[in-house]
């Protein structure tokens, strides 16, 4: 995938000398703007506490679940399978935890700590009010964002 303006922007944000929450919010804003998606959340995965915790979000409103067990929702499958979960129609997915009542599609992209057994250290959570909102190109872009953002999560470890 060619290096996009978004990926450059994410690298710049990660390298900024500002607090982590501010950078997380700027990351969420940049990703949401790029895809014209309604909502983007940035989450830490804390295996010691068994929780997924929202660091920042951009869009519609605050997440319904700012913290939840790593064993719940689409995120649980992304963490356990160490892979992206792309639910084109959340109504058809029994593992879906409500983000917003009007959510129709959601994608969870794990961020991996390479060199540490490819452990999931964070997630990008993007939702849309449109069915099948995340085509192969959108998924590939979000997965590349996750690779670029590995350093953002690694520095917090």
Output the 3-class SS for 27-65: HHHHHHHHHCCCEEEEEEEECCCCEEEEEEEEECCCCCC
pLDDT at residue 64 in the model: 85
Choices 3.30.450.40, 1.20.1530.20, 3.30.70.1400, 2.60.40.650: CATH for 5-155 = 3.30.450.40
C-alpha dist (Å) from residue 107 to 11, 15, 19, 122, 138: 22, 26, 27, 14, 10
pLDDT at residue 99 in the model: 73
Contact predicate 2/141, CB 8 Å = no
Is 0.85 surpassed by the pTM of this model?
yes
Instruction: Show pLDDT as tens, one digit a residue, over the chain (157 residues).
Output: 456 899 999 999 999 999 999 999 999 999 999 988 999 999 999 999 999 999 999 997 888 889 999 999 999 999 999 999 999 999 998 888 877 788 899 999 999 987 666 789 999 999 999 999 999 999 999 999 999 999 999 887 6
């Amino acid at each position: 995938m060619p290096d996009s303006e978004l990926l450059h922007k994410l690298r710049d944000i990660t390298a900024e000398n500002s607090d982590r929450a501010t950078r997380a919010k700027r990351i969420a804003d940049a990703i949401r703007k790029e895809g014209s998606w309604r909502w983007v959340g940035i989450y830490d995965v804390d295996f010691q506490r068994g929780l997924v915790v929202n660091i920042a979000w951009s869009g519609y409103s605050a997440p319904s679940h700012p913290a939840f067990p790593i064993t719940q929702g689409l995120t649980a499958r992304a963490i356990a399978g160490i892979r992206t979960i792309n639910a084109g129609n959340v109504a058809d997915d029994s593992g879906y935890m409500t983000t917003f009542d009007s959510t129709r599609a959601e994608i969870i992209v794990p961020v991996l700590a390479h060199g540490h057994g490819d452990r999931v250290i964070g997630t990008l959570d993007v939702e849309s009010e449109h069915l099948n909102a995340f085509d192969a190109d959108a998924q590939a872009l979000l997965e590349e964002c996750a690779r670029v953002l590995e350093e953002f999560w690694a520095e917090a470890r």
